A and B are shown apart, each in its own frame.
Chain A
């Protein structure tokens, strides 16, 4: 055994996380709320990508439908806030459920809703593989999108404003820095859980399902349930990010469910470096900065995103983490 040495990738990871924490604290001290919110956006988008990375990077399940979970999480936050504001029940049958603006209630509800949806979508989609899986996840997400567009109760096409940001007990979630810290902690937890998960027996089985499905089955472990559970966990993480996103923007609408959103989360995973723990964070930093800087210069910034993405896919396959930290280590 060699002396434990801190790898370059670990340094890069901690630096990125440190920057994300320090930058908004300084911005807040300087009174630059805009940059605090920008950092919050990065943290949330990164977390959505952490969820998708579990499916794509670790599980080899190329889901093109994660916007469904991102949006559903957002709608749970929005609908709950809507009813809390309106003082009307969310459900009156079979049980009466009132709306709430307590984030500690909203988050588990959003996660539960995403878990149920992921179980339904996953159990059908995972019967297939390859291109079928990509297209089917895309199609199911589109189904949810059209449902949201045509269901009038919660704003339909126009979406649903959240007039008052949902509350976290003991903290002022309206304060930009406090809300950033809430999102930052959620991101760190998502990263920690993913890391721990991938070292566990479940993670070992999931990796083998990606690398060599037959080997896993030959070892007596059925790949389907392993994948399904991973898909659900992945959806839950992305869904929680969606709930935070709705609160950040004070708005939830069908755009959170659109297939562009699925593509965007996937792009972040790939830009960062697929299958690497902090890939989603570096991808999110790059994406949001590009969106802000290029988007400020030209209204056609997506054209440049397209070119960058095309370049990364064709020529720089390791993504940002590949550039910063070298090739992926052996697991």
Chain B
């Protein structure tokens, strides 16, 4: 095990973590404010990636694509909220799960219908395509560092938004008391649409950026969605702080586990077996982490009130 490899993997874990945070913060915000479990959150990630890849392909500019991807995700989020989601706030969780599962089917098949089954590709923008030297000699792609930076910026912005602005005050009021917020004369329907669209935009941002690292294809949002669920279960549903810490934890544990567990097993197993067993166990690691945390804190690390 070399130090540069460790450093590189730490950064990879951090990059996965910040990307998860973009997903998880929207999910947890929507649950905290509206009490809604949204399975279709991964669809906004996919929409962001597809629109970015398509627009960038057409205009030749990643940045135009990125803007279009975020806007499209936010717009789709707002429309979905207006048409479907707002009918679900007072429903049971079962109804919310099914309706948003239906939305996944509609979005996935709709996207397949529009763009076909073969994946789209998105290139890292020219300006960010280089690599920087890490201490120890290895080189690390600039674009991944930018993703980490964007994640950190979003985290800071969200904290400021929630603790310092009028909108944030309303969000906090909505979390603690849905009746009171109505009494304050706040247009609750508008607030909900706004919060939902904000969450969708963050998911779209994540999808747009990741689209430059992976192929853009139908169903790409689902594994990320499930990781984001693990994150907010660990962090405590409704807590942005929990989402942040959970994201970093899951990102690091997953990335480092996949790299180091097989080598660990090679110390006392035949190499072929070790890589199989190591990989299989590494894929389970974050769920084991979740189980352990839940065993001690059934409501997650930073549980909100309910």
Judge if B230 is at the interface, Cβ distance under 8 Å. Answer: yes
A303 & B287 in contact (Cβ 8 Å cutoff): no
B104 & A306 in contact (Cβ 8 Å cutoff): yes
- Near B by CB (< 8 A), chain A positions 28-80 give 56, 62, 64
B112 & A131 in contact (Cβ 8 Å cutoff): no
A132-B299, A305-B105, A309-B98 known; A314 vs B84 contact (CB < 8 Å)? yes
A263-B101, A305-B105 known; A135 vs B287 contact (CB < 8 Å)? no
Judge if A128 is at the interface, Cβ distance under 8 Å. Answer: yes
Judge if A143 is at the interface, Cβ distance under 8 Å. Answer: yes
B229 & A274 in contact (Cβ 8 Å cutoff): no
A306 & B283 in contact (Cβ 8 Å cutoff): no
Choose from B102, B222, B294 the contact partner of A310 (Cβ within 8 Å): B102
- In whole angstroms, how far apart are the Cα atoms of A329 and B108 in the complex? 38
- In whole angstroms, how far apart are the Cα atoms of A136 and B288 in the complex? 11
A147-B280, A314-B87 known; A302 vs B109 contact (CB < 8 Å)? yes
A146 & B101 in contact (Cβ 8 Å cutoff): no
A56 & B94 in contact (Cβ 8 Å cutoff): yes
Judge if A292 is at the interface, Cβ distance under 8 Å. Answer: no
A132-B233, A136-B233, A150-B283 known; A303 vs B113 contact (CB < 8 Å)? yes
Q: 1/0 per residue B104-117: CB within 8 Å of A?
A: 11101110110000
Judge if B284 is at the interface, Cβ distance under 8 Å. Answer: yes
Q: 1/0 per residue A295-308: CB within 8 Å of B?
A: 00000101101110
A-B contact count (CB 8 A): 117
B232 & A135 in contact (Cβ 8 Å cutoff): yes
Judge if B191 is at the interface, Cβ distance under 8 Å. Answer: no
- In whole angstroms, how far apart are the Cα atoms of A10 and B55 in the complex? 57
Choose from A131, A267, A306 the contact partner of B37 (Cβ within 8 Å): A131
Q: Chain A: how many interface residues by the 8 Å CB criterion?
A: 41
**Which residues does chain A contribute within 8 Å of B230, judged by CB atoms?**
135, 139
- Near A by CB (< 8 A), chain B positions 142-163 give none
Judge if A142 is at the interface, Cβ distance under 8 Å. Answer: yes
Choose from A139, A146, A147, A150 the contact partner of B233 (Cβ within 8 Å): A139
Judge if B99 is at the interface, Cβ distance under 8 Å. Answer: yes
B233 & A151 in contact (Cβ 8 Å cutoff): no
B102 & A306 in contact (Cβ 8 Å cutoff): yes
A62-B93, A132-B237 known; A300 vs B109 contact (CB < 8 Å)? yes
A139 & B94 in contact (Cβ 8 Å cutoff): no
- Near A by CB (< 8 A), chain B positions 83-127 give 84, 87, 93-95, 97-99, 101-106, 108-110, 112-113
**Which residues does chain A contribute within 8 Å of B300, judged by CB atoms?**
132
**Which residues does chain A contribute within 8 Å of B290, judged by CB atoms?**
136, 139
**Which residues does chain B contribute within 8 Å of A302, judged by CB atoms?**
105, 108-109
Judge if B271 is at the interface, Cβ distance under 8 Å. Answer: no
Judge if A313 is at the interface, Cβ distance under 8 Å. Answer: yes
**Which residues does chain A contribute within 8 Å of B237, judged by CB atoms?**
131-132
**Which residues does chain A contribute within 8 Å of B98, judged by CB atoms?**
266-267, 270, 309, 313
A303 & B110 in contact (Cβ 8 Å cutoff): yes
Instruction: Report the minimal beta-carbon distance from B161 to chain A, rounded to whole angstroms.
Output: 24
Q: 1/0 per residue B287-301: CB within 8 Å of A?
A: 110110011001110
- In whole angstroms, how far apart are the Cα atoms of A127 and B287 in the complex? 16
- In whole angstroms, how far apart are the Cα atoms of A68 and B222 in the complex? 17
A128 & B84 in contact (Cβ 8 Å cutoff): no
Q: 1/0 per residue A275-318: CB within 8 Å of B?
A: 00000000000000000000000001011011101100110010
Judge if B130 is at the interface, Cβ distance under 8 Å. Answer: no
B102 & A309 in contact (Cβ 8 Å cutoff): yes
Known: A303-B110, A306-B103. 18 other contacts (CB 8 A): A62-B97, A132-B299, A143-B283, A146-B284, A150-B276, A151-B276, A152-B276, A266-B97, A270-B98, A300-B112, A300-B113, A303-B109, A306-B109, A307-B106, A309-B105, A310-B102, A313-B102, A314-B84
Give residues in A with beta carbon < 8 Å to B.
Answer: 56, 62, 64, 124, 127-128, 130-132, 134-136, 138-140, 142-143, 146-147, 149-153, 259, 263, 266-267, 270, 274, 300, 302-303, 305-307, 309-310, 313-314, 317
